[in-house]
Amino acid sequence: LPWKSLASIVQFYYMWKTTDRYIQQKRLKVAEADSKLKQVYIPT
CA Rg, the chain, in Å? 17
Residue 31 included in any domain: yes
Q: Model pTM greater than 0.85? A: no
Q: Which domain holds residue 27?
A: 6-38
How many domains, in total, are found in the chain?
Answer: 1
Per residue in 1-44, pLDDT tens?
789 999 999 999 889 888 888 889 888 888 888 777 666 677 88
Residues contacting 21, CB < 8 A, separation 6+: none
Residue 43 included in any domain: no
Residue 29 included in any domain: yes
- DSSP string spanning 1-44? -TTS-HHHHHHHHHHHHTSHHHHHHHHHHHHHHHHHHHT-----
CB 23 within 8 A of CB 30: no
